[in-house]
Amino acid sequence: KMAGSSAPWIGSAYLFLQSTCKTIVLPSLYESSQKKPSVFKALKLALADSTGSVNGVDMLKVHCSHPHLIVQLKFCKQENCRRFLQSYREGALQESLQNHLQLSLAMTTVPLEMELKAGNEHLDNMLKDEDRCLECIYREKPDRLRDEEITELEECLKSLIVHQSINNNLAVKDCASLNSPSLPYPSQGSSLSPQVTFIFQGQQFANRTLTPDDHQKFAKLVSKKWKQVGRSLQKNCRALRDPVIDNLALEYDREGLYEQAYQLLLRFIQSEGKKATIARLIAALEENGLISLAEELLGLHSNEDCS
């Protein structure tokens, strides 16, 4: 039976991963209790990059089948699956995962080969026919619920960030930028900025007001997602309340995405002053799955070629 229009769009696929470097064996890394959380974190962040959302695709299980690491994926929306396929086809997913593995495992480079399958279909052979790929993925319904191990790793990722903030003698609420992107910024008469430091991907960064360089990088790289980031920032910024964002879109439509994004952040910086901090922008980017852009602003890509 065809699914009714009100039924959710759900499909499943398998992502096969293999390192082309003989000294890096992904299944062995994943089977190591010390390295497993790092590999999982890289997978999660790369998949979030590919769909533009932390919840765009769900990992149900990770199989170790030497020399492959096989990730069973579940998609709950056709648009997320379409974004994933575009990212996969263009090589963006591969590049993102290589970068995240490199950072998480502290290695110089992790070259990868990828293959995508849905049932008996090799999707790599039909990537140009996006609708056919979507059909194959939609036909394959997930045959399992999320593995308990995956749920544990999700929890481990969250608690890791909390533990690190405690070890750094920070209040736990200061690391909440990862778990609750809409941080309240108290305006009590404190001489310190609202947060002196914040945690991103398990690392501690100094909080600072946004610079002209941040402003330009954001405008250049955020692309079509600028409105979504604006809506995340508007929770704590009156200057971005509706209908300001829609008005900016209309007003600067002819100038294009760069100018629209630039004007959005300009409004934020002008209205918030010293409270227009990097932590708030990073939290808004995280909320919308723009992990690579967050890394770029924090200088985590400085040794890599950024496209």
pLDDT digits 0-9 by tens, 287-305: 999 999 999 999 986 544 4
Domain presence at residue 143:
yes
Please give the helix or strand (H or E) that residue 157 lies within, else none. Answer: helix 148-167
Question: Can you give the pLDDT at residue 192?
Answer: 39
Query: Which residue, 151, 175, 209, sits at the end of a domain?
Result: 151
Which of 151, 177, 206 is the C-terminal boundary of a domain? 151
Confidence of residue 4 (pLDDT cuts 50, 70, 90): very low
Total number of domains in the chain: 2
Residue 75 in any domain: the answer is yes
Same domain, 138 and 212: no
Is there a single domain that holds both residue 228 and residue 146? no
Q: What is the mean pLDDT of residues 186-213?
A: 71
Q: What is the mean pLDDT of the chain?
A: 84
Same domain, yes or no: 43 and 129: yes
Is 279 domain-assigned?
yes
- For the range 111-115, what are the long-range contacts, defined as Cβ-Cβ under 8 Å and sequence gap of 24 or more? 111/19, 111/20, 111/21, 111/24, 112/17, 112/18, 112/19, 112/20, 113/17, 113/18, 113/19, 113/20, 114/15, 114/16, 114/17, 114/18, 114/88, 115/15, 115/16
Does the pLDDT value for residue 12 go beyond 60? yes
Residues 129 and 210 placed together within one structural domain of the fold: no
- pLDDT recorded at residue 100: 93
Region 67-72 average pLDDT: 95
Whether residue 230 sits in one domain with residue 114: no
What are the tokens at 58? 């769900």
Residue 171 lies in a domain: no
How does residue 162 score in pLDDT terms, banded at 50, 70 and 90?
low
144 and 209 inside one domain = no
Residues 115 and 209 in one domain: no
pTM of the model: 0.54
Q: What is the pLDDT of residues 223-255, one digit of tens each?
A: 999 999 999 999 888 889 878 898 999 989 998
Token pair 């690491």: residue: 69
CATH code for the domain of 20: 3.30.70.680
Q: What is the pLDDT of residue 178?
A: 39
Angle at 109 between CA 105 and CA 110, to 5 degrees: 70
- Whose structure tokens read 């939290």? 283
Q: Which domain holds residue 81?
A: 11-151
Using DSSP, state whether 107 is helix, strand or coil. coil
Q: Give the C-alpha separation, 239 to 268, whole Å.
A: 7
Is residue 221 included in any domain, yes or no?
Answer: yes
Q: Please tell me the predicted confidence (pLDDT) of residue 144.
A: 81
Q: What is the CATH number of the domain that holds 287?
A: 1.10.533.10
Domain match, 230 and 289 both: yes
Amino acid 2: pLDDT: 45
Same-domain pairing of 146 and 201: no
Longest dimension (CA), the chain: 64
What pLDDT is attached to residue 7?
73
Residue 182 lies in a domain: no
| Residue 174, domain member (yes or no) | no
pLDDT for residue 58: 94
Instruction: Write down the residue that tokens 């100094």 correspond to.
Output: 206
Domain termination site, one of 151, 177, 207: 151
Inside any domain, residue 167 = no
SS3 state of residue 220: helix
